[in-house]
Amino acid sequence: MEKVTFTKINGAGNDFIFIDKDSYPSLQISPVLVRKLCHRRFGIGGDGLITIAKTDGVDFEMTYYNADGSLGSLCGNGARSSILFASLFGKAGADEMKFRVNNEIFSGKIISKDMIKFYLNQPRDLKKNLIVASSLGNINCQFLNTGSPHVIINIKDIPGFNKPISELDVIAFGKELRYSPLFAPGGANINFIELADGKVFIRTYERGVEDETLACGTGSTAAGIIAKIVYNLNPPVALITAGGDSLIVDFNLNGDVFEKLSLTGPANVSFKGEIYI
């Protein structure tokens, strides 16, 4: 049994367990361990687990595990939270830093003590006006991979749904669409948006967590891009998350190239603790 110190950080309510891998080089991060630690009753609780380690060529390497134990793709709020962790615990020597995730290099910076900006790489696989079958009928949707695959659905395009986004059953509906054959074999994250007063309200069902999360960084980034391409909202685009925080997506669109694509929002340390593994 090993006593391990952890830090709990949330990015706009998207919460993660952080472990400094340099302090515990022999610790084996197994799917069973991740599920145990992320369990909200029998563990610490979190949408995912992130390890941070020093590495050559960049300030640090971030490894993200979904709450179900699977190795995750890019996590935007996890990346922003990692920037905060690196700044607080000596993994980076300045407020601006570069880091590696899944063999890709990213960058970000500290804007203020609780406001973090993360620069994403070029999105891909844009597919507009896809028709996905659902129990409510066929739905028009958009697809974009911003490091993770995301489906964007305007709630106005859901047949027979005439209520505000706050009344949508995101878990039931998201679970149904997440496994649609259209997004096989890996599935996709399902984001629902409502446009009002120049803002985008967003709720997300996340694969790997298999639940609604209070915020999704790469999902908000995808929604911000779709807001420009489909709905002509000029960046920066403010997205209001299920937790009530605001995430800002900004970029310059140069032809088909998204320049300086960034996600900015709050990140805070919730608590530190020790757990026996």
Query: Is the pLDDT reported for residue 244 higher than 90?
Result: yes
126 forms beta bridges with: none
| pLDDT (0 to 100) of residue 197 | 81
Residue 1 confidence class, pLDDT cut points 50, 70, 90? confident
State the pLDDT at residue 93.
85
Tell me the pLDDT tens digit for each residue of 138-175.
Answer: 999 999 999 999 999 999 999 999 999 999 999 999 99
Rounded Cα distance, 109 and 107, in Å: 7
At the top level of CATH, which class does the domain 3-119+267-276 belong to? alpha beta
| Percentage of the chain lying above the pLDDT 70 cut | 100
pLDDT of residue 199: 84
- Residue 185, pLDDT > 80, answer yes
At 171 the pLDDT is: 97
**Cβ atoms 195, 143 nearer than 8 A:** no
In this predicted structure, what is the pLDDT of residue 69? 97
Name the residue with tokens 């145990």: 36
- pLDDT, residue 107, reads 98
How many percent of the chain have pLDDT more than 90? 95
3-class secondary structure, 146: coil
List the beta bridge partners of residue 249: 237, 263
CA 116 to chain centre: 14
Residue found by looking up tokens 């620069």 in the block: 119
Q: What pLDDT score does 113 carry?
A: 86
CB contact at 8 A, 86 and 52:
yes
Write out pLDDT tens, residues 19-31: 999 999 999 999 9
Contacts of 226 (CB under 8 A, 6+ apart): 142, 144, 152, 193
Confidence tier at 187 by pLDDT (50, 70, 90): very high
Query: Residue 90: its pLDDT value, please?
Result: 92
Residues tagged active-site: 75, 216
Residue spans per domain, the chain: 3-119+267-276, 124-265
Say yes or no to pLDDT of 198 above 80: no
pLDDT one-digit tens code per residue, 26-55? 999 999 999 999 999 999 999 999 999 999
- Please determine whether the domains at 3-119+267-276 and 124-265 fall in the same fold group of CATH: yes
Rounded to an integer, the average pLDDT of 178-182 is 93
DSSP secondary-structure letter at 123? Answer: -
Strand bridging mode 48-53 / 14-20? parallel
218: phi then psi, degrees, rounded to nearest 5: -70, -30
Amino acid letter, 30: S
Mean pLDDT of 103-110: 97
Q: Is the CATH code 3.10.310.10 the one for domain 124-265? A: yes
Residue 189 parent element (H or E): strand 189-196
- What sign does the CA torsion over 115, 55, 31, 275 have? negative
Residue 265 clears pLDDT 90, i.e. is over it: yes
Which amino acid is it at 277?
Answer: I
Q: Is the pLDDT of residue 75 over 90?
A: yes
**What is the overall mean pLDDT for the chain?**
96
